[in-house]
Amino acid sequence: MRSFEAINYSLRPNKNVERKLIARILNAIGKNARFDWRDYRYLGLGSMWFVDFILMHKSIGINKLVTIEKEHSRAKRVSFNAPYSCVEVKIGMSTSVLRQLSWENRTIAWLDYDDVLRSYMFDDLNEIIVKSTTGNIVMVSVNAEAAQLNVTENDAIVDPMTVLKGLVNATYIPTDADQRLSKNQFPALPGETMFNFMKSSVLNTATGLDFFPLFNFAYSDGSRMVTYGGMIVDANDEKILKGLSLRSSFEFVAQHGQFEIQVPQLTFKEKLELDKRMPCAVAPKPEDLPFELKPSEIEAYRKFYQDYPMYGEFHP
């Protein structure tokens, strides 16, 4: 079963919040005339749901959107579900499609994979980076479960570091990676590895370009996932970004390290009860609520109550 047949991508609360946090940062950057998102193209993996495409069009203002779909057997379905006439559907493996695309527009690219780490993902990232100019944004999401490194060959367990080095050049893997392969520590590794890879790829692409990190999220709506990304910049664009003081405005920008998104699962009634106490500088105490929640859950809701999604059934 393909992932889009098993998962309704729009019904994942932590992923939903992540998209909105990304939009917050993009909108803050977009206040500078240098980064007019209306002149940009959005490139992503919309699947059947196109949730990020709707966000990029409605909240960010991008009118040129391109989705890549690898399943030829689902081409008609993807095209049918495209939410706007400005969505262009490209069918084929991501690496192949990326090589064929034109790059006259500056681009926000989000390779939102639902798979574990694979070597082709780094090929895709490099393909985007080598064709990018300053001002382009590149993001990638991957599965961050440590169990993906548990591989056996001929009934023998393969060393997890050997598995990891088979996916990405050891040059980009943090030197202490072998001490961080536990379930709780592993999610930070893909982010750091992606940063090292992206920065190196940018520096090798053209003189005067660098990589400015913006996003480093970990979240779970089932499997643990990581989203990492940033902007390719020249000296002028880097100066503009630094002048926006994103680090002081948003605790979740990448310069603070990996940010964990873990909002609680709430009923509609529970959400309404918490909303009566919002906004607040200090989270309510668990004993002050008429239902049980952990302090960490209440604090997470306090931070992101404006972004918290609620779902309901509509009757015709």
Q: Does residue 67 lie in a domain region? A: yes
Same domain membership, residue 45 and residue 89 = yes
Q: What share of the chain is helix, strand, coil (3-state, %, to 5)?
A: 45, 20, 40
Distance CA 93, CA 116 (A): 16
Same domain membership, residue 273 and residue 172 = no
Look-up: residue for tokens 């579900």?
A: 81
**Which pLDDT belongs to residue 222?**
87
* 285 DSSP 8-state letter: P
**Which pLDDT belongs to residue 3?**
52
CB contact at 8 A, 116 and 147: no
Same domain membership, residue 79 and residue 131 = yes
Q: How many CB atoms lie within 10 A of CB 81?
A: 17
Same domain membership, residue 172 and residue 62 = yes
Same domain membership, residue 252 and residue 283 = no
Same domain membership, residue 235 and residue 89 = yes
Q: Does residue 310 lie in a domain region? A: no
Q: Does residue 195 lie in a domain region? A: yes
Instruction: List all residues 6 or more positions away from 130 whose beta carbon is below 8 Å from its beta carbon.
Output: 201, 205
Q: Does residue 313 lie in a domain region? A: no
Element counts in the chain: helices (H) and strands (E): 12, 10
Distance CA 243, CA 89 (A): 37
CB contact at 8 A, 48 and 78: yes
Q: What is the CATH number of the domain that holds 30?
A: 3.40.50.150
Same domain membership, residue 274 and residue 162 = no
Each of the 316 residues of the chain gets a pLDDT tens digit; together they read 455 444 445 578 999 999 999 999 999 999 999 999 999 999 999 999 999 999 999 999 999 999 999 999 999 999 999 999 999 999 999 999 999 999 999 999 999 998 999 999 999 999 999 999 999 999 999 999 999 999 999 889 999 999 999 999 999 999 999 999 999 999 999 999 999 999 999 999 989 999 999 999 999 998 999 999 999 999 999 999 999 999 999 999 998 899 999 999 899 999 999 999 999 999 999 999 999 999 999 999 999 999 999 887 777 7
Same domain membership, residue 298 and residue 234 = no
Q: Does residue 31 lie in a domain region? A: yes
Q: Does residue 214 lie in a domain region? A: yes
Helix (H, G, I), strand (E, B) or coil at 87: strand
Same domain membership, residue 176 and residue 119 = yes
**Tokens encoding 78:** 């993807």
Same domain membership, residue 237 and residue 206 = yes
Q: Does residue 253 lie in a domain region? A: yes
**Which pLDDT belongs to residue 4?**
45
Domain tally for the chain? 2
Same domain membership, residue 233 and residue 131 = yes
Q: Does residue 85 lie in a domain region? A: yes
- Give the torsion through C-alpha atoms of 290, 293, 297, 301, to 10 deg: -20
Which domain, by its residues, includes 62?
3-261
Same domain membership, residue 150 and residue 16 = yes
Q: For helices 160-167 and 119-130, what crossing angle results, to 10°?
A: 30
**Which pLDDT belongs to residue 16?**
94
